Amino acid sequence: MIRKSFCGLLGLVMASAANAEWALNMPKGVTDLSAETYDLHMMVFWWCVAIGIVVFGVMIISLFKHRKSKGAEPATFTHSTAAEVIWTAIPVVILLIMSVPAAETMIKLEDTRDPDLSVVITAYQWKWHYKYQDEGIEFYSSLARPSVDARRKQSGVDVNGVDNYLLDVDNALVVPKGAKVRLLMTSNDVIHSWWVPELAIKKDAIPGIVNETWFKANEVGTYRGQCAELCGKDHGYMPIVVEVVEPEAFQAWVDTRKDDGAKVASAQ
């Protein structure tokens, strides 16, 4: 039985290693702060493991050593001030130790000064709107057509055949690698939440309020996320795609976007 469960667990861990899309732990991400967030998470995790081993260890040893069959006599005291002081003080000290690196990272997360790029994100039921403040580019980002078609009842489309089913959009948020990107988030209707695990960002988009956050991606790539706040019937159909590209490719993208915008304007 034990061997079976162990093999099962091992299989689970190995499967997660083999299939990157299916992982037990949070991702390390592609920004310095996502790595720091991951390290904090692991630090707290190992603290919890150590506390678990100590507490359950003492408990199991006590139960075993002082069992009735060995003729153990129950203690008669009802109160111990010393024990209460100790088991209050130790967790307080542990929490204080944890809070120092956590506070350092949180201060960095809030520091949105001197961005290279600012994007206003407005959430809608059920899509995102991106507006590059200085580049004069804006567009909606909605669920990609293949997913829209496949998700319809009796569409006849096998979702397993759709790439990135429910995780792809028509227009991705494009940003340059190594640039400090400030995100200003708000909503047009209800509360949504802009969540991209690889960037370690999950920030609420609230009507009437502008929330701020930032990231600086160190690696070129496509990073996917979803709305993380129940926002209505199509909450599951407003994914997020962030394309991190080389600075030159970003400039080229900005230029083509501007050309497209000019064409649209002259056609009207």
Structure tokens at 106: 């949180």
Instruction: Tell me how far, at minimum, the Cβ of 142 lies from Cu ion, in Å.
Output: 12
Instruction: Tell me how far, at minimum, the Cβ of 64 lies from Cu ion, in Å.
Output: 52
Instruction: Tell me how far, at minimum, the Cβ of 217 lies from Cu ion, in Å.
Output: 23
- Residue 192 binding Cu ion, by CB under 5 A: yes
Q: How many CA atoms within 13 Å lie on the side-chain side of 258?
A: 10
- Residue 129 binding Cu ion, by CB under 5 A: no
Instruction: Tell me how far, at minimum, the Cβ of 190 lies from Cu ion, in Å.
Output: 7
Cβ distance to Cu ion smaller for residue 16 or 211: 211
Q: How far apart are CA 130 and CA 151, in angstroms?
A: 25
Number of residues that bind Cu ion (CB under 5 A): 3
Instruction: Tell me how far, at minimum, the Cβ of 123 lies from Cu ion, in Å.
Output: 6
Cβ distance to Cu ion smaller for residue 31 or 187: 187
Cβ distance to Cu ion smaller for residue 184 or 205: 205
Q: Taking CB under 5 A as the rule, which mask of x and - marks residues 153-172 in contact with Cu ion?
A: --------------------
Q: Which of residues 37-56 bind Cu ion (CB under 5 A)?
A: none
Instruction: Tell me how far, at minimum, the Cβ of 139 lies from Cu ion, in Å.
Output: 18
Instruction: Tell me how far, at minimum, the Cβ of 133 lies from Cu ion, in Å.
Output: 22
Instruction: Tell me how far, at minimum, the Cβ of 186 lies from Cu ion, in Å.
Output: 13
Q: Which of residues 202-261 bind Cu ion (CB under 5 A)?
A: 227, 231
Cβ distance to Cu ion smaller for residue 192 or 216: 192
Cβ distance to Cu ion smaller for residue 118 or 122: 122
> 175 near 117, Cβ under 8 Å?
yes
> 200 near 194, Cβ under 8 Å?
no
Cβ distance to Cu ion smaller for residue 134 or 234: 234
Cβ distance to Cu ion smaller for residue 33 or 167: 167
Cβ distance to Cu ion smaller for residue 33 or 242: 242
Measuring CA to CA, which residue among 164, 174, 183, 181 is closest to residue 226?
164
Residues 6+ apart with CB under 8 A from 224: 164, 167, 168, 196, 198, 239, 240, 241, 242
- Residue 121 binding Cu ion, by CB under 5 A: no
Chain positions contacting Cu ion, by CB under 5 A: 192, 227, 231
